[in-house]
Amino acid sequence: MKKTVMIISVTALVILGTNVWLHAADPADYDPTFNPPDGYVGVAMADSQTVLDVVTDFAGYIYVAMVTETSEGTTGFRPAVLVLTPEGDVDATFGTDGVYEVPVDLPASYTSSYVDIALANDGMIYLSFPGEGGTPSSWNFFLARILADGSGLDTSFGFLGLTVAAFDKVGADDHPGDDVPHDMVVQSDGKIVVIGEVERVGGTDYDFGVARFTVSGGNDTTFNSDGQSVVAFDLGGGYADYPWGVALTGSGEIIVVGNGQTATGFDLVVAALDSTGSLEMSFSHDGKASFQYEDLASGLTANDNRGFAVTTVPMVIEKRAKGLILDTIFIGGWSFDPVLFQGTKEMSVLCIDGEGDPCVGFGMQGWTLLDFSDGSFEGIGDTDDSVGNIFYDGDADSITVVGDATQVTGNQWSYNAVARISALNGALDTSFSGDGQRYFTEVGGYAHFISGCVDSSKRIIIATDQYSDSNSSENPWVARLGATVVDVPFFSDGFESGDVNQWSGSTP
């Protein structure tokens, strides 16, 4: 018998005879079925951890990438992954007490570092991170493949579960150059793309580095002949181009976003590569584009614009003049608001099409700025806001950004902040928290990395770390937002349609 899917509400109940009709909860509310009834959980661990990324699988398990302190021999730091169940418990079947620690030390000067996570279709787990290697030693892109149960590395991948890409573009005898990975994505064919910064001139010139690995862990020689591609923007100043996010289009192009140094600040920059590792010349005529936010009312332009995360959406935008149908690209980051004259940055979302042009009708020339300001007791005000991740919810034509909003007073903590906007015009989605944005005060800290994702039930996951008095250390903190879907019969007599528009007399 068909059952109607209803949504749990925490606010309103309509009593009909002996049955309860449960209305939809605000998708910005904590999910009370995750670590009931809180909707969030802090995981106390033996040492200090810095949370850097989070993903979920189709079953709702949550995988948290982090840097963990280790005391094996001498104190150092290693990349690790923590797994939580859909109910918010530590998955005791994974690794050791829910954690697998990659047996590779991060560079000694890092107390926290860049660790990114991705899941393969077969359940294997990828972690990318910087590691030291070579003679003389330098930092390189490291990639590990972890067994699905966290029992160890997959020794069939690369060399005993690890593979490395060393760009070494400085070329000096005593310093070949440090290469630091920042993000990765797994292609539909199983190949892995890792992006990060590549040092070109010691300490002053950094470019976009893109490495692609085969399913077996080798450098993919079909990608620019050696598995590596380097993109330089060199817009002026110190020529420091830093890539932070990567995504794939439906046609297989690799979109890399970040910030490129200019003579006066930074532009948000984007590179598009084809499947062979070459610049995609149909994108902005040379495969590269740079953007600055401009306030049309004042004519002022932001001198600091950065892209930290990117998502591509199978929603299409038609180019009127050419009749082309292209993917839509959404980039989250920050821009310094040129109107405020206070040196503060706002969350920014830039929408461009597959040819590198700003989306027509989206925000202001393709830009939407999100300012988390209010006069509440917590003290969130006109301070710095930044995007940690950006994603599409799949079926509601909305884009969600997760990041941090900084407190004005007191310790100036950074709070978890979430906003949802229309993918069509960039307007705030008022079905989310009434005005499209919300910050959460349960966790605050000085320099948290705040990441997020969406699960298969369209629920938002937030991951960061918090200081715990119980062990005097930073510990992982994970929250799940959104309504919980359950089967609830509408009538006790067997009629189960909850849609009043389908009623005909007394028969649903």
Largest CA distance in the chain: 86
Q: Examine the domain organization and report whether 441 and 492 are in the same domain.
A: no
Which pair of tokens denotes residue 157?
């991948």
Q: Which of 479, 397, 401 is nearest to 437 (CA)?
A: 401
Q: Examine the domain organization and report whether 393 and 508 are in the same domain.
A: no
Residue 500 has a pLDDT of 40
Apex 189 CA angle, 187 and 192, nearest 5:
40
What's the per-residue H, E or C state across 313-380?
A: EEEEEECCCCCCEEEEEEEEEEEECCCCCCCCEEEEEEEEECCCCECCCCCECCEEEECCCCCCCCCE
Strands 19-22, 62-70: pairing kind: unpaired
Phi, psi of 212 (to 5 degrees): -125, 135
Range of the domain at 2: 1-25+483-508
Is residue 463 in a domain? no
Is residue 43 in a domain? no
- Amino acid code (one letter) for 11: T
Residue 162 has a pLDDT of 98
* Final residue before a domain boundary, out of 421, 448, 475: 448
Phi, psi of 501 (to 5 degrees): -70, -15
Rounded CA-CA distance 389/182 in Å is 13
Residue 487 has a pLDDT of 39
Residue ranges in the chain whose pLDDT is less than 70:
1-25, 71-75, 110-113, 315-326, 340-343, 373-383, 394-396, 407-412, 444-448, 469-472, 483-508
Is residue 47 in a domain? no
Is residue 365 in a domain? yes
HSE of 389 in the Cβ direction (CA atoms, 13 Å)? 23
- Amino acid code (one letter) for 387: V
Residue 341 has a pLDDT of 55
Q: Examine the domain organization and report whether 286 and 357 are in the same domain.
A: yes
HSE of 69 in the Cβ direction (CA atoms, 13 Å)? 13
Q: pLDDT by residue (tens digit) across 312-327?
A: 987 666 554 455 556 8
User: 78 and 86 in contact (C-beta within 8 Å)?
Assistant: no
Q: Examine the domain organization and report whether 441 and 487 are in the same domain.
A: no
**Residue 493, burial from CB neighbour count under 10 angstroms (0-12, 13-18, 19+):** exposed
* Final residue before a domain boundary, out of 400, 425, 448: 448
Q: Examine the domain organization and report whether 326 and 280 are in the same domain.
A: yes
Residue 76 has a pLDDT of 83
DSSP string, 410-449: TT-PEEEEEEEEETTT--B-TTTTTTSEEEEEEEEESS--
Size (the chain), residues: 508
Distance from the Cα of residue 106 to its chain's centroid: 22
Which pair of tokens denotes residue 147?
């067994």
Task: Give the chain's domain count.
Answer: 2
Is residue 417 in a domain? yes
Q: Which of 126, 130, 73, 80 is nearest to 103 (CA)?
A: 80
Strand partners, 452: 462
Q: Examine the domain organization and report whether 273 and 354 are in the same domain.
A: yes
Q: Examine the domain organization and report whether 427 and 499 are in the same domain.
A: no
* Final residue before a domain boundary, out of 396, 430, 448: 448
Is residue 442 in a domain? yes
Q: Quick check: bond before 107 cis, omega within 30?
A: no
Q: pLDDT by residue (tens digit) across 70-120?
A: 765 556 889 999 999 999 999 999 999 999 999 998 887 765 568 999 999
Rounded CA-CA distance 262/111 in Å is 29
Q: What is the pTM of this model?
A: 0.87
